[in-house]
Amino acid sequence: MKKLSSKLVFSLLCSFLMLFICTNLSFGQMVRVKKPKTISHWQHRFTLALGVGNEIGAGSLGYAAMYGFGESQRLRIGGGIRLNLALGVTDSVPYLSKSYEDTSNNSFRDSLLVEKPFLGSANLGFYISYDINERWEIGASTDLVGFGFGSEKNAFLINSLTADTLSTEAEVRSLVQLPKVRGTLNNEIFVGYKFNPRWRLRVGIQYLLTEYLTPEKFFNDRDEYKNKAILGFIGITFTPFNNDAVNCPKFKKEKVYQLKEGEM
């Protein structure tokens, strides 16, 4: 009886020992291992800006896709779309024709005085920025092509040579293009400060070109009248999907896998 009990106890001990060994060999200790982070070079920016000058104020709302170059991605170049709105901050704003003489003197240009101008454009553009450090950046943007919109306005046309005046209507050019400098075009140079990876403040200068047309050619055989304004502006930029705070915020995705201890 004692021998049978001893054999039974020995068998049970051997069974537990084998179960312990098999369990450790089969399953191992579970550990959490991070897969290397995947970084996208593309960044998506949504912008809002308000500018004001001596005769014209402006607002813009835009989106840009920016590609970061190199490992640091400090330099970013991209394209986007921007909605521009411009309005007169005075009762009438002068729009000038091409000069009668080959000179920059405005005394040789006819003036189209537009009453309370209000016009806009939706343009495709070029964008560039550079991160100086983890907080500061500099950048620029320019509109390339798009379309303009706005209602007709009452206007007075003044001949620069004879001082003759006439009443007419001013209408907005529908096609906007940079090569021929036509329509409503917005250009920016700015300095930006990053509060966090998603939000940044921008301040800078806008060079805003707006244009009106007359129904027919009156003086100097011209029907195009332009206003070129320099505006100071302030704006904000929202960059979604960022979750880090390096020099140039990047998109990051992490995956966690369960591995056996022997596979590390």
Of 122, 31, 128, nearest in space to 77 by CA: 128
Is the pTM here over 0.75, yes or no? no
pLDDT given at position 250:
41
Tokens 């901050």 belong to 89
Cα–Cα distance, 221 to 124 (Å, whole number)? 31
Token representation of residue 212: 């009106």
Give 21-28's long-range contacts (Cβ < 8 A, gap of 24+): 27/260, 28/260, 28/261, 28/262, 28/263
What is the pLDDT, as a whole number, of residue 142? 95
Cβ(206)–Cβ(186) below 8 Å = yes
pLDDT at residue 83 in the model: 97
Query: pLDDT 10s per residue in the chain (264 long)?
Result: 545 455 545 565 555 556 555 545 444 444 454 555 556 789 999 999 999 999 999 999 999 999 999 888 899 999 999 999 999 998 899 999 887 665 566 667 888 999 999 999 999 999 999 999 989 999 999 999 999 999 899 998 988 777 778 888 888 888 887 777 788 999 999 999 999 889 999 999 999 999 999 988 887 788 889 999 999 999 999 998 764 333 444 434 434 344 444 444
